[in-house]
Amino acid sequence: MSAEKITTQCAIAGGGPAGMMLGFLLARAGVDVLVLEKHADFLRDFRGDTIHPSTLEVMHELGLLDEFLKLPHQKVREIGGIVGDEKVIFADFTHLPTRCGFIAFIPQWDFLDFLADQAKPYPGFKLMLRAEVDDLLWDGDRVVGLRAKLPDGTLDVSADLVVAADGRHSKLRALAGLDVEDLGAPMDVLWLRLPRRPGDGSQTLGRIQAGRLFVMLDRGDYWQCAYVIPKGGFEALRAQGIEAFRADLVALNPALADRVDGIGSWDDVKLLTVRVDRLKRWCRKGLLCIGDAAHAMSPVGGVGINLAIQDAVAAANILAETLRARLVTEELLAKVQKRRQWPTEMTQAVQLFVQKRIISNVLGMTATPRPPFVLTLFNRFPFLRRLPARLIGMGFRPEHVHSPELLP
């Protein structure tokens, strides 16, 4: 076992949307940056696939939109659901004042690979895979670096700034002793794949039936499915057996009868635990948390990736120049929190409202649900669909790229 030591201006723990976008933006601005990702690649199943209009706008500002949209993707211009027996469309993105009036569904590993490819030409960018950060390095009360486990030893990284972008189970925020406010979530999600047949169509629709919520995302040759269960309810479901689960899926969507046998056992069904929380302080001397590490997002609205990207854009706007000059202060880190706190709190407030008023109710229902009156208004007055589209597609106070670009 060897212990390696390196020095960088910014060390980022976690190569998810927040970490990769920040790594790219800082390298683009001439900062020496190292992103450490614990997995060997980005190819993991349990990542959201939604790239929203606000993120597409950021890609445009970076001059990358056309290239990005060459990746295989589906354009989703409306979001709707089937509540009981009734179809409701409640968000229409085509009127947004953005370059793209749609959500691009792109497997997240393609998005992250794309960012890595764009970042690589910048001399300051380094991505290390299979590097699991498991400790912080301190000088008194200041974080001055991190320690990572590598396949063949350990790595000590000295850095002017450590960024925790290690997701909703962030180890770094715990190591830094930052207080977490748990906001609660009534559900967990089961994540599974089903084959897609040529005649299936491609509309992404949620299905709401008594006690159940089911979403199918088009991933080309298969459907990525999310089946929402009450928090902690997985064991009870397992106890009923896989056959009962298959029958439940068919009851939700009879068109699946010809393929549910593809779910051979519970090994084909992943449990994703949902958390909604946020830090009281996102930073301390030498360390900043962004993305889910600062505020774990509910899957409601599928906005977590975009919030993570917005955090990265804001952090790069505020910090790039001073990082390059090696002058980052705690006050400047606090500015990132100040900039992003309000959009985060507003988004989580909406998510908590939906979790409490809609998801909890649906999960507790025993009779076939009917769309609530407010939802029926979206079918009667289609222009109302623009408001949810704005909240989901652009969010609160979208960020724009102001960090500089130094040519590679």
Contact 25, 403 (CB under 8 A): yes
**308 sits near ligand FAD (criterion: CB under 6 A):** yes
Given the complex with ligand FAD, which of 17 and 343 has the nearer CB atom? 17
**73 sits near ligand FAD (criterion: CB under 6 A):** no
Query: Least CB distance from residue 169 to ligand FAD, whole Å?
Result: 7
How many angstroms separate the CA atoms of 316 and 307, rounded? 14
The count of C-alpha atoms lying within 13 angstroms of the C-alpha of 143, restricted to the half-sphere facing its C-beta, is: 32
Q: Which of 124, 167, 369, 395 binds ligand FAD (CB under 6 A)?
A: 167
The pair of structure tokens assigned to 226 is 């999310």
**50 sits near ligand FAD (criterion: CB under 6 A):** yes
Given the complex with ligand FAD, which of 30 and 51 has the nearer CB atom? 51
Q: Which of residues 187-206 bind ligand FAD (CB under 6 A)?
A: 189
Residues 19-38 as x/- pattern, contact with ligand FAD by CB under 6 A: x----------------xxx
Write the CB contacts of 307 (distance below 8 Å, at least 6 apart in sequence): 291, 295, 297, 343, 344, 347, 395
Read off the DSSP letter of residue 214.
E
**260 sits near ligand FAD (criterion: CB under 6 A):** no
Query: Least CB distance from residue 254 to ligand FAD, whole Å?
Result: 25
Contact 312, 292 (CB under 8 A): no
Given the complex with ligand FAD, which of 91 and 165 has the nearer CB atom? 165
Q: Which of residues 108-127 bind ligand FAD (CB under 6 A)?
A: none
Closest CA to 194 of 167, 214, 166: 214
Question: What number of H helices and E strands is found in the chain?
Answer: 12, 20
**291 sits near ligand FAD (criterion: CB under 6 A):** yes
Give alpha helix (H) positions in 34-123: 53-61, 65-68, 108-119
**362 sits near ligand FAD (criterion: CB under 6 A):** no
Q: Which of 162, 274, 389, 392 binds ligand FAD (CB under 6 A)?
A: 274
- Kindly state the number of chain residues that form the binding site for ligand FAD, as judged by CB under 6 A: 35
**133 sits near ligand FAD (criterion: CB under 6 A):** yes
189, β-bridge pairs: 228, 272
Given the complex with ligand FAD, which of 308 and 324 has the nearer CB atom? 308
Helix (H) or strand (E) holding 87: strand 86-92
**39 sits near ligand FAD (criterion: CB under 6 A):** yes
Contact 277, 180 (CB under 8 A): yes
87, β-bridge pairs: 82
Contact residues for ligand FAD (CB under 6 A)? Answer: 13-19, 36-39, 48-50, 132-133, 165-168, 171, 189, 272, 274, 291-293, 297, 299, 302-306, 308
